[in-house]
Amino acid sequence: MSFKLSEFFDVRKIPCARESILYGAAGSLALGLGHFLATSRVKRSCDFGVGGFILTTLGCWFYCRYNNAKLRIQQRTIEEGIKNKFLYESSQFAPERENISNQGSSP
């Protein structure tokens, strides 16, 4: 098994990585430039830019990954529901038959 560093940093294969890095770069530029225009301190503005990059990238990364996980859970639930619908469609175990028989027996 060979380990290639270029495969490790391939952003196209990692979900949410490209968007997170691009938003991080934009956030870094905005925060660093804004701090420089406000204070005219170069080193401190660079520090703010790096911090802005880290915070923006991680924030976008976790937000995107959370939404992807939520979407996968919803998709799995829908797939199971569709599978159960086809499985129990005309059998005596169908949930619709239970509801109909319970409504018919109540006074």
Number of domains in the chain: 1
CB 85 within 8 A of CB 35: no
CA dist 83 and 87 (Å) reads: 6
Domain enclosing residue 35, as ranges: 5-105
- What confidence score (pLDDT) does residue 69 get? 94
What's at 18, amino acid-wise? R
pTM comes to: 0.68
Q: Give residue-wise pLDDT tens across range 32-50.
A: 999 999 999 999 999 999 9
Tell me the three state secondary structure of residue 1: coil
Checking if the pLDDT of 66 tops 70, the result is yes
Q: Give residue-wise pLDDT tens across range 69-101.
A: 999 999 999 999 888 887 777 676 666 655 555
Per the model's pLDDT, the better-predicted residue between 24 and 12 turns out to be: 24
Per the model's pLDDT, the better-predicted residue between 8 and 57 turns out to be: 57
